[in-house]
Amino acid sequence: MSRAVVDPSITEFIQSLPKTETHLHIEGAVPWELLQETFPGEFDKTPEAWAADFKYENFTTFENEVLHYAGSYYTSPERYHESAKRVFQNHLDQNVRYVETSFHLGILEVIGCSGPDIIEAIRSAVPDGLEVRVFMGMLRNHYQGELTAVMDEIPNWGGLDGIDMHGHETIPWDSWAGQLWRRTQEAGKFTKAHAGEFEGAKDINTALDLLGTKRIQHGIGAAYDPATLQRLLDEDVALDMCPVSNVKLRSVESAECHPIRKLFDAGVKLTVSTDDPTVFGNDLVHEYDLLISHLNFTKQEVVQVVRNGFDVALVDDATRSSWISELDSIELTL
């Protein structure tokens, strides 16, 4: 899928749409050309994972590759700023208006800086014409040792828009997560969580029950459990999905059988994003093209997916309405 040839007319259509990116890991998005500039000769070879038919052996192999790229580059807040500046310019070039990106808690221990330092580095890279919301991501077993004091302060961090739960779904959920999510919500920040990509509908329900969030990252397991699917509808829970990532990580068998089609048809509010584009070699054109070329989404249905992104965006009603009006005008020409 990614790096495959996309029909120029489809590319033009997708490019014309004002869009959102609501599921993006900044550590998994360091621009490839920035790695090449920073480490001459080390990143000359195009990654195997960029091939259209590539699939990772397992999640750990994928995670190690992310850590290799991110660990090589992200050594200071200044590097977060430089990477984010290029990432956000790339969004503008794709006609993206709104981005939610997360940085990972574990990096604080590695490079010895504070969360607010990274938040400021990312926020100061935001260009005119783009709205960006910054999240902190963590693992289900992160609340231990010296990190507990850091995590207890997260709800008080200025400039942080919310928190997200990352990582292996096989790690058991723990009560600390519910407590931190509630404190963060009470502080006026937004919360979401990765769930149900590999561990099914039960994982989604645990996340909803424990964390009280209304946004699930991935959440493909809901498509295989009628009760969970209905719960998403009843509770107006949105799924921020990444089809190329799901195929390459083997959480679905193929693009053609991706459950995003079933979830969309059932009326679930879902968005489309790139997840970790450095590793997958994808962009939003490839994500939306997958819907059209592999899952028979019409242009009108693609417009609805884009509209969902604006519906969940953390912006004021006037800003949201202006974006949706622009989208509506395009839809009238289809």
By annotation, the residues acting in catalysis are: 197
The whole-angstrom separation of Cα 272 and Cα 192 is 15
What residue type is 15 in one-letter code?
A: Q
